[in-house]
Amino acid sequence: MDISRFDDDAPTAQSVGPERLTVLYRSLRKAFEDAKNEAGAGDFYYGEMDARRHASTTGRSERALLTLYWMISGYGHRAGRTLAALAVLVVVLFALLAQFGLPASTSAQEMIAKVPAAIAGQEQEIKVDVKPTPTMLPHKNSGGQQTACTRPSGSRWDRWCSATAAHHSPLRAHGRS
């Protein structure tokens, strides 16, 4: 047994930086993918991306993107983080929608189409004005029946439909209740 390996004065191994680790992890990942060992390749992919994120040669915008990718989904390998990020996104969007709402009305849209002379005999222009229908909110009145009413004019939904709006229900218009 060679005791000089354990000597403190012996030359130490050279440290490997993130740039070199990225290349090593990538080549190991490719070898595992070629051997059809996807689970092992996934571990090396995680290491590759982490080393790439910590490399000094990685640009600021790429590092920010990689950090976001790591935080949200663990480079695509952490399902719990992804579900948590989705839940946070849904809650934030719900809060924004509840705070600011949908626009009370939208303007009419205009569509213009040109019909070639080969089809119509002479070139024609068709103009169609599309007017939006009022937004309808479902609501149950005090009797438990489904009604609908137009959205209040404000940006927040701070009042409910009155029972008199029941005759405007699209369900009633088709003979259903």
- Residues 81 and 59 sit within 8 Å (Cβ to Cβ): no
Q: Which two tokens stand for residue 4?
A: 């000089």
Length of the chain measured in residues: 177
CA dist., res. 69 & res. 46, Å (int)? 11
Q: Which two tokens stand for residue 68?
A: 């976001």
Q: Who contacts 110 (Cβ-Cβ below 8 Å, separation ≥6)? A: 127, 128, 129, 130
| pLDDT tens sequence across 110-157 | 888 888 877 767 888 888 887 766 666 555 556 666 555 555 444 444
Q: How distant, in Å, are the alpha carbons of 99, 138, 169 from that of 150?
A: 18, 9, 10
Closest of 66, 70, 45, 44 to residue 55, by C-alpha = 66
Give the chain's radius of gyration (CA, Å).
31
Q: Where are the domains of the chain?
A: 16-99, 136-173
Across the strands, what pairs with 57?
Answer: none
CA dist., res. 48 & res. 45, Å (int)? 5
Max Cα–Cα distance, the chain, nearest Å:
99
Token pair 């390749």 is found at 41
pLDDT in tens, the chain (177 residues): 455 555 555 556 677 788 888 888 899 999 999 999 888 888 888 888 999 898 888 889 999 999 999 999 888 888 899 999 999 999 999 999 888 877 666 677 788 888 887 776 788 888 888 776 666 655 555 666 655 555 544 444 444 444 444 444 454 444 444
Token pair 């070629």 is found at 34
